[in-house]
Amino acid sequence: MDDYDVFDLQDSDFAPVEATGRRLALLTLEEAHDLLRLLVTLAQESGPVSPEADRLAKEIAARIPSEN
């Protein structure tokens, strides 16, 4: 039994897919950098989400200007 068995997706409030795409376009540059830092941190951890976090971090880093 893994930890996800007790998590019921029906109890979660997910935004509709159409709204999610619009929200991502409205991230500020600061928010994008915050998200990138979070993904990089997750990618450095060993675990089931690290490969996906690494992939997403690379995708976001390629699309936003550096902080410097």
**Are 36 and 60 contacting, i.e. CB atoms less than 8 angstroms apart?**
yes
Contact 50, 42 (CB under 8 A): yes
pLDDT along the chain (68 residues), means of 10: 50 58 70 94 92 93 86
Residue 40's alpha-carbon distances to 44, 56, 59, 62, in angstroms, are 6, 9, 11, 13
7, two tokens: 């998590």
Residue 7, classed as helix, strand or coil, is coil
* The pair of three-digit structure tokens given for residue 27, joined into one six-digit string: 């991230």
> Is 0.85 topped by the overall pTM?
no
Q: How is the chain split into domains, by residue range?
A: 29-62
